[in-house]
Structure 1
């Protein structure tokens, strides 16, 4: 019993020491550790600590507004280091692949069931890294997570935060992370590979290697009250130690046919009739492109329709290249365009080069061999030498 009392006294002293330093996130960490450590020997204390964490001041409360830090800026340019979206919004609902959707929903679900985790002595996911090629929805996913949690989204572009004086980049990074730690938010570190490269990369100067160490320390100290996300297009460049610091690694694949169709339909529904049919046509034509590239093409077609008038479908056709399709795909395209009444058979023939008989599904007529006349019905068959 004396050992338990001694442990509790040490925890209380440490908690008081941290509280006097004014670092709210460290106080929350210590309170969580105490609740977990004393669940068996002091259940009432542990329950009370869990209740305090659950009732902790939110970012919108008067107490939070009084203690909110000054927005960090670059010492050279005085420009803000962060883009802040107080209430993240999306043009339309994102399209997630099955496994990707599970990972993102899991992160949100943990935060929305925080009480159950705290009662079990557990913390929610504190950090996750998003990897994948450009334009596949990493930033949009961060925005979706922040919106789902009803929290502001803070975006730090690490390629832009690099100061002309490398020694200040580490200071900039610490200022941003300390600012984000002071509130309940979602922080996105975009272009992580800009500073988190392998420390054995001989092409990098020593200062950049020290930045990796700074980043590792900051990720380790990240409090459970906030959510730290990072995004990179070049995961192969990252220092291996960075990977181990994140609770989750979430891979963003290139969109498949079904994902593209859903994305195009969502983007066209309010702008044209038969958006579902055109989404199916455009999905095949845009396979292999990222969501960002597809969105750019669709907006380009809408701009042309707005300027020159006419049906949006007229301008969508510019992104379909029948001449580059194998013959079976051209036939399928022509039959779909005519069958769904998106074009007349004649227009589908002119657009794809597929014969109208083929579009209708009729068998092709036999063609006479050159230089020989076809035998007429009833014509007598003469011996070979008398023909």
Structure 2
């Protein structure tokens, strides 16, 4: 029997007005969900996901676990369909739970999006999950280094999330539980603010999981707190002994492939799959049909590529213009519509001026404004301007 000890902490951070993260610790199910979408959509998406994963009873296989995550996705999609204001909301999810079946106790891990699950090893952190994000795909392709990805302006774009489509691709792993192992589930508000060496330092020196979770969240907020941050720490206190434990603890994997290749076979005109007894000249039955098939495929491929490009550009345009950020124009603090640094050729545009000067802020606030503080909607950005205005007024003798 596997027994757990755990701790958790969450914080809205220093910039956001609402905490769109939700987490769950219940009956051996540990979940972190990081919502996204304005007008409270992200907060609702992550809450619906956590509620859907609550009280699931025993899960025996990875396929069952994947099915539960897909059911949660359906719940988010249904909720968005019921309320037009919530359309487009989504959430990441990363979870760890016990699997019971065949007389053995194992751990199941599932992941969608860029929330992570780490295991603490003797020499650092081992990331079990794979980020479903634009920059991670660039890293895998060799187009970005890890250091470049950490500061890339598109680092917050996820390529998978619950609630976006009727079907969701889920990665899952089956692990061997080993007494003494420590696992960490977290939203990107943690590793987006502090590096893995600092995370490891806390996890390897603070034995109490609750104290370690609170310490990590506190450090992330102190480092800038530009996003909500949630940490769940799970310690394996006891587990059945297992022979030949893999170093990475992984004994089974289900990684969803985003692309599917269809095998389409064609037969020349006038012939069946069984052939023809007349045995005509090969040139008569091959050359002309093959040219026609290749032309059709080429046209179809061009159309598909064009549609994908149009959809991608449309999505990028929506993403690029669907946020606001507090930045500077010269020395004045202003609100821009768009993303800090722009997205490809979609540059941010000036939305409002504040009349406040960045030089009047203290160094930490000034640094955040210079980097660009991103918000889901204009009201949130205006609210932050008012906070800065009140701070400056209170500082004036």
- Report the TM-score, using the length of structure 1 for normalisation: 0.18
More helix by share: 1
Indicate the structure with greater strand content: 2
TM-score using structure 2 length: 0.18
Query: Larger Rg: 1 or 2?
Result: 1
